[in-house]
Each structure stands twice: as C-alpha cells, then as structure tokens.
C-alpha cells in the first residue's frame, strides 16, 4: 500500500513543490489549503503516515492546528513536520515541539533533506503499523488461548467431578458385589442343611419302604435324590465362584508345565475311564495365582473329557502360541501368552462362543451331560483376575480350542515376588 501524507499550506505553489519533490518515492498525497481544511479532512480520515504543515497560515497557524489535531486520541500517532521560512528562536521552536511536532524543515526546502526526513518517518510509521498489527494478532491469540485455558479448566473440573462420581459408583458397586457375594455364600451355605436332610430322609424312606413301594414310587424317590444331588452340586459351584470372586490377587512365579501335570494327575480316574491322551508342551513360567489358575485348567480339561465323542477316545493338546500384544483392545501394549487347550470332542457352533462363558449357560440338557453351567464362567472370572481373558474356537463334531490369554509381565508387589 502507498503511504499517505497530508500536505497543509495556504499557498498552492508550496503544495505543488512538496508534491513534486516527494512524488518519485511513491507516496499518496492529500492536500489542504488551511488549518481548518486539514482538521475537516482529519475528522474523516486518520490513516496518514505523516503531516507536512506550514507554520504561517491565516486564521489558524500551524501551531494552533497541531494543538487541535492532537486533542483527538485517534490522531496522536501522526507525526507533524513544520515547514517554515522563519527561525523563531528556541522559545518558539520549543512551542512547536510542545504542540506535538517532531521536526522542522526550513524554506527554501532542500529536496534531499525533505525526502530523507520523510522517508525516516514513513518507515517508522510502517514499523509502528506492523507492531500494531502484531499486537492485534497477539491479543487475538491470547484471547483464544485464554478461552482454550478456560475451556480446558472447565473440562478438567468436569473430569474431576466425573472421576469423583465414578469412584463413588465403583465404591458402591464394590460394596454391592461384596454384599452379593456374602449373600450368595450365606444363602448357599444355609441351603445345604435342608438338602442334606432331603437326601438323608429319602435314603431312609427308600431303605425302609422300598419293598412296599411300586415302580412309580421308586422312580419318584430316585428323581428326588437326583434333583437334590444336582442342587447340592449347584450350591457347591456357587460357593466356589463366590470364594474365587472374593479372593485377593496374589501372584507368584509358576511353571505352568508342572501345574498342568498336577491338574492331569488329579483327573487320572476320569482320564483312565475315558482312555484319554493328554499332551502338554512348551508352557512358560508366568506370574500367576496358583490357587486360581489350577481350577481354571481343571475346568477346561474336565469339559474336554466330558464332551468327548462316544466312538473316539479324547485327545487333548495343551500348548502355547507366540506371545503378542494383540489384546481385545487394538491399541493394547500388554504382551500376552496364548495357552491353547485343544480337543477332538463334540464341539459347538461358533455363534455360542461368547454365551458359554455366562453364568448358568449350557448348550446341552442335564440328561445328556451333567453340569451346572458355572465352570466356564469361573474360568472367565479367573482369567480376568489375572488381567487376561479367555476365548473359544469351535465347530460342531470337529472339537474345540479354548485360548487362555495371560500377560507375560504381571504387575506384582515386592511382597508377592518375595
């Protein structure tokens, strides 16, 4: 943009002379023939880089015009150079500076001096404008930053409030879970006594009166005893689930090969009965809770033995896959060890792969295969207590593979390591 200069002089030839000298430097000129006309121009426009004003003018002289110009706040930034043919002495020169003038140029005007002085003040104006523009930008940036800080503070306060609420909810849920566990334990414990009496009295009834009962009566007693035994098994599993749910985490280094061998030894009678073959290979040493991890694998092996094909001996392979960090969360950084429990049993439809880990969910009736529907829910609970998870792959008549994913590096306290 061309820089604008206001030229004020009552003589046309002086205005023309200044314009001719400065025109090659590319300035834009606005001319006023009196102080009053200059004031009128400045009422509407104030974007001038400089004012060149004659001192001696009729009505309003240069000093008086300058004083009126600088009364307006918007015009105080415009420098004024007085053009004069007289040397007024120090007192009058001081008067000019006091009104706001920045310099004097004496007539006859030296063109080079005029151009040099004008160039200096125009350059100062440019730099001042740049500073003002930068200040506006910085003010806008600061305002934006302040708004962002205020928004962030509000968000942080909201997050803190939500965290407090979440902690309260978690605390409430933990209390509710403890109460539920206590209720389940007490209810299951209290139910065992009447069940024992039902079994005892039906045994006594059968022993004393079996000769007097007809076939239907004997059948009903048998059904009562079987139902009571199943209820007893269900209560036992609920108590087990409640016990493991409440158990505190305690991890120690365990060789899973040895732990699995102990599980197989405990299942020897069932393994022998089914003529099963179990193969264990390459399991790692991990930080686990042996009191929890053992029933997890015991349940998985028991299921593989239970749900075997009638015309084919069970074959169960337990092995580990390469460790990776592909957890259920795609962005997970935790590395997991995948332990596969693969069998050649009856299998199930893959659409039930999530359902089977829910409490009391069974894919077969109790007449086909005994069970309470708690075993796999217990496996899921134990895996999660180890900061891991369990999943299943299966196809009907083609066997199943249960995959237990446990962290390679468990967070443990020094006390647990010791």
Asked if residue 108 has a cis previous peptide bond (ω within 30° of 0), the answer is yes
CB 261 within 8 A of CB 283: no
Q: Output the domain CATH number for residue 402.
A: 3.30.565.10
DSSP state of 85: S
Whether residues 180 and 275 share a domain: the answer is no
Whether residues 195 and 75 share a domain: the answer is no
Whether residues 348 and 231 share a domain: the answer is no
Structure tokens, 11: 């003589």
Which residue, 246, 280, 302, sits at the end of a domain?
A: 246
Residue with tokens 């314009």: 19
pTM over 0.85: no
User: What's the total number of domains in the chain?
Assistant: 3
Closest by alpha carbon to 293, among 376, 377, 383? 383
Whether residues 308 and 403 share a domain: the answer is yes
Length of the chain: 418
- Is residue 86 included in any domain, yes or no? yes
- Is residue 116 included in any domain, yes or no? no
Whole-angstrom Cα distance, residue 350 to residue 214? 47
Closest by alpha carbon to 240, among 291, 304, 301? 291
- Is residue 67 included in any domain, yes or no? yes
Q: Output the domain CATH number for residue 234.
A: 1.10.287
Whether residues 242 and 264 share a domain: the answer is no
Residue-range definition of the domain harbouring residue 44 = 4-109
Which residue, 213, 246, 279, sits at the end of a domain?
A: 246
- Position 185 scores a pLDDT of 66
Whether residues 177 and 98 share a domain: the answer is no
Whole-angstrom Cα distance, residue 55 to residue 61? 6
| DSSP codes joined into one string, 329-398 | STT----EEEEEEEE-S----GGGTTGGGSTT--SS-TTTS---S-HHHHHHHHHHHTT-EEEEEE-TTS
Closest by alpha carbon to 347, among 270, 402, 299? 402
Closest by alpha carbon to 296, among 389, 231, 208? 389
| DSSP codes joined into one string, 270-314 | HHHHHT-EEEEE---EEEE-HHHHHHHHHHHHHHHHHT--TTS--
Whether residues 399 and 252 share a domain: the answer is yes
Whether residues 199 and 75 share a domain: the answer is no
Whole-angstrom Cα distance, residue 3 to residue 123? 10
- Is residue 117 included in any domain, yes or no? no
Q: Output the domain CATH number for residue 36.
A: 3.40.50.2300
- Is residue 357 included in any domain, yes or no? yes
Whole-angstrom Cα distance, residue 265 to residue 246? 27
CA 228 to chain centre: 51
Whole-angstrom Cα distance, residue 37 to residue 28? 18
Structure tokens, 196: 């024992």
Helix axes 290-306, 215-246, angle to 10 degrees: 150
- Is residue 120 included in any domain, yes or no? no
- Position 88 scores a pLDDT of 55
- Position 20 scores a pLDDT of 93
Whether residues 374 and 331 share a domain: the answer is yes
Which residue, 246, 278, 299, sits at the end of a domain?
A: 246
Whether residues 162 and 47 share a domain: the answer is no
CB 244 within 8 A of CB 184: no
- Is residue 22 included in any domain, yes or no? yes
Whether residues 230 and 281 share a domain: the answer is no
- Is residue 384 included in any domain, yes or no? yes
- Position 100 scores a pLDDT of 64
Whether residues 158 and 274 share a domain: the answer is no
pLDDT tens for the chain, 418 residues: list them.
788 999 999 999 999 999 999 999 999 999 999 999 999 999 888 789 899 999 888 889 888 898 898 888 888 888 899 888 766 556 566 666 676 667 888 888 889 999 999 999 888 888 888 888 888 888 889 888 888 888 888 888 889 988 888 888 888 887 776 666 666 666 666 767 777 788 888 888 888 888 888 888 888 888 887 777 767 666 666 666 666 665 666 788 999 999 999 999 999 999 999 999 999 998 999 989 888 888 899 999 999 998 898 889 999 999 997 655 544 544 456 688 999 999 999 999 999 888 888 877 767 665 566 666 788 888 998 899 888 999 999 999 889 999 999 998 876 544 444 4
CB 6 within 8 A of CB 48: yes
371: left (phi over 0), alpha (psi -120 to 50) or beta: left
């Amino acid at each position: 943009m061309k820089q604008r200069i206001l030229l004020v002089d009552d003589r046309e030839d002086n205005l023309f002379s200044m314009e001719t000298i400065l025109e090659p430097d590319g300035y834009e000129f606005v001319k006023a023939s009196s102080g009053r006309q200059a004031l009128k121009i400045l009422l509407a426009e104030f974007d001038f880089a400089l004012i060149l004003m004659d001192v001696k003018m009729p009505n309003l002289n240069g000093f008086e015009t300058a004083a009126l110009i600088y009364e307006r706040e918007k015009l105080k930034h415009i420098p004024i150079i007085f053009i004069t043919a007289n040397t007024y002495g120090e007192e009058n020169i001081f008067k000019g500076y006091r009104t706001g003038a920045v310099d004097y140029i004496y007539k006859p005007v030296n063109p080079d001096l005029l151009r040099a002085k004008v160039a200096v003040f125009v350059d100062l104006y440019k730099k001042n404008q740049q500073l003002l523009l930068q200040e506006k930008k910085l003010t806008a940036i600061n305002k934006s930053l302040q708004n962002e800080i205020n928004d962030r503070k509000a968000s942080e306060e909201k997050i803190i409030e939500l965290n407090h609420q979440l902690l309260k909810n978690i605390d409430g849920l933990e209390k509710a879970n403890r109460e539920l566990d206590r209720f389940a334990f007490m209810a299951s414990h209290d139910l065992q006594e009447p069940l024992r009496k039902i079994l005892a009295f039906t045994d006594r009834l059968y022993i004393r009166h079996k000769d007097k009962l007809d076939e239907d009566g004997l059948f009903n007693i048998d059904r009562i005893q079987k139902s009571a035994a199943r209820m007893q098994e269900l209560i036992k599993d609920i108590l087990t689930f409640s016990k493991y749910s409440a158990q505190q985490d305690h991890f120690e280094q365990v060789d899973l090969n040895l732990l699995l061998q102990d599980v197989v030894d405990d299942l020897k009678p069932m393994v022998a009965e089914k003529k099963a073959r179990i193969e264990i290979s390459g399991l790692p040493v991990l930080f686990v809770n042996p009191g929890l991890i053992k029933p997890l694998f015991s349940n998985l092996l028991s299921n593989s033995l239970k749900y075997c094909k009638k015309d084919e001996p069970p074959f169960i392979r337990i092995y580990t896959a390469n460790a990776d960090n592909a957890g259920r969360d795609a962005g997970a950084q935790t590395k997991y060890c995948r332990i596969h429990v693969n069998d050649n049993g009856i299998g199930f439809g893959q659409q039930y792969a999530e359902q089977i880990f829910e409490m009391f969910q069974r894919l077969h009736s109790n007449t086909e295969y005994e069970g309470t529907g708690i075993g796999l829910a217990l496996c899921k609970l134990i895996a999660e207590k180890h900061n891991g998870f369990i999943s299943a792959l299966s196809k009907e008549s083609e066997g199943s593979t249960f995959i237990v994913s446990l962290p390679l590096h468990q967070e443990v306290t020094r006390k647990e390591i010791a």
